[in-house]
């Protein structure tokens, strides 16, 4: 087990280097010149070249990547081209807000998915199974941004029950676990949970249905094991696969909440990415994409280790 853990941790090093290279190149492949967002249209070419040299954009891409990576390793994510201040502080605050939203929506989706999927799997072939499976398919098919706008129209505009935008009263971006802030979290987290809830429901339903039809379940029933004991065996067999799906969904929500954050004006990495894209703020794009990608890598590692702890047979595969 120890050597497996060490090997998995070592694998992160080349993966992280590859991720950093991809993050660096992607923003340079995109059309447009970031300098255009920093200078006036009638700026003399000499001044434009001076600005380009100031930010190191006149260097070849390999040199830019080396300089950028060296700073990132030291914890320096650079300065925003638009705001002119360090990115790290803004990104830390935005990442915390996105983490709160992603984990709340993700855990809510996982809870709903496990309950719906388990019930559908146990009652496979019945009307309960068909209703829950149809609900899961509908949840996966609904676009985030459309559902978010519908939620705003119903609960914020028509019923005036919940706030439509922001993360706190008065436009606050500092989070606190009180009702004044939690009410801003309800609509975006419900919107965000729909797709993972549908995916987890379908996964759990298929696993439970398959396990319930296996011979060892029939044997357990023949021995007189209670229903609760049989369900416990089903959970143990389904847990590793379900855990992998849950881990991927939680990681996807960290980087895939840009549309939901934009609809609800949630001050997270999604809003930060959205603004950076339109402003062609390359350092912000690079830093935000890198942090989200590395979070995905680390979360996959954590899921692998938890899977191994639950099912040690994974080491021998």
pLDDT at 229 over 80: no
217 compared with 38, residue with greater pLDDT: 217
Is 3 a member of any domain? no
What are the CA-CA distances from residue 181 to residues 52, 92, 102, 190, 283 (Å)? 42, 19, 16, 15, 31
Residue 86 inside a domain? The answer is no
Task: Give the mean model confidence (pLDDT) for residues 15-34.
Answer: 76
State the pLDDT at residue 140.
85
Cα atoms in the Cβ-side hemisphere of radius 13 Å centred on 161: 10
Assign 86 to helix, strand or coil: strand
- Does the pLDDT at position 195 exceed 80? yes
- Tens digits of residue pLDDT in 44-79: 778 777 777 776 777 787 888 888 888 888 888 888
191-216 average pLDDT score: 85
CA distance 297 to 247: 11
Mean pLDDT of 232-250: 77
22 inside domain: no
In a domain? residue 169: yes
- Number of structural domains (the chain) is 1
- What is the separation, in whole angstroms, between the first and last Cα of the chain? 13
State the pLDDT at residue 317.
53
Q: Longest C-alpha distance within the chain, in Å?
A: 87
Range of the domain at 143: 92-316
- According to DSSP, residue 153 is labeled I
Phi and psi at 136, nearest 5°, equal -65, -45
- Please report the pLDDT score of residue 112 as a whole number: 92
- Quick one: pLDDT at residue 308? 74
**pLDDT over 80 (residue 96):** yes
In a domain, 154, yes or no: yes
Query: Is 226 among the domain residues?
Result: yes
Once rounded to an integer, what is the mean pLDDT over residues 101-112?
89
Band the pLDDT of 31: cuts 50, 70, 90.
low
In a domain, 34, yes or no: no
Residue 276 falls within a domain, yes or no?
yes
Apex 128 CA angle, 126 and 134, nearest 5: 105
Give per-residue pLDDT as tens, 258-272: 888 888 888 888 888
- What is the predicted pLDDT for the residue at 296? 81
pLDDT for 236: 75
Long-range CB contacts (< 8 A, 24+ apart) of 128-131? 129/205
Say what the pLDDT of residue 258 is: 80
Residue 254: CATH number of its domain: 1.10.3720.10
């Amino acid at each position: 087990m120890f050597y497996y853990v060490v090997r998995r941790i070592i694998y992160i090093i080349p993966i992280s280097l590859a991720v950093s290279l991809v993050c660096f190149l992607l923003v340079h492949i995109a059309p447009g010149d970031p300098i255009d967002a920093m200078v006036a249209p009638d700026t003399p070419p000499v001044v434009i070249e001076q600005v380009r040299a100031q930010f190191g954009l006149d260097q070849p891409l390999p040199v830019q990547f080396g300089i950028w990576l060296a700073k990132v390793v030291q914890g320096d994510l650079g300065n925003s081209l638009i705001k002119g201040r360090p990115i790290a502080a803004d990104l830390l605050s935005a990442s915390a807000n996105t983490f709160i939203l992603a984990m709340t929506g993700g855990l809510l989706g996982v809870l709903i998915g496990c309950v719906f999927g388990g019930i559908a799997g146990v009652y496979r072939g019945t009307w309960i199974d068909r209703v829950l499976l149809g609900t899961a398919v509908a949840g996966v098919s609904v676009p985030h941004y459309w559902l978010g706008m519908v939620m705003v129209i119903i609960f914020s505009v028509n019923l005036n029950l919940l706030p439509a935008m922001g993360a706190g009263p008065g436009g606050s971006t500092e989070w606190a676990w009180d009702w004044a802030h939690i009410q801003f979290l309800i609509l975006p987290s419900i919107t965000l949970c729909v797709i993972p809830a549908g995916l987890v429901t379908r996964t759990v339903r298929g696993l439970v249905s398959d396990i319930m039809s296996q011979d060892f379940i029939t044997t357990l029933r023949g021995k007189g094991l209670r229903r609760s004991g049989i369900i416990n065996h089903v959970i143990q067999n389904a847990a590793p696969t379900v855990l992998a799906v849950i881990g991927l969904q939680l990681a996807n929500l960290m980087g895939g909440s840009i549309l939901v954050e934009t609809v609800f004006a949630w001050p997270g990495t999604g809003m930060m990415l959205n603004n950076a894209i339109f402003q062609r703020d390359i350092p912000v794009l690079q830093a935000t994409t890198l942090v989200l990608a590395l979070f995905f890598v680390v979360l996959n590692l954590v899921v692998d280790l938890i899977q191994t702890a639950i099912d040690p047979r994974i080491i021998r595969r």
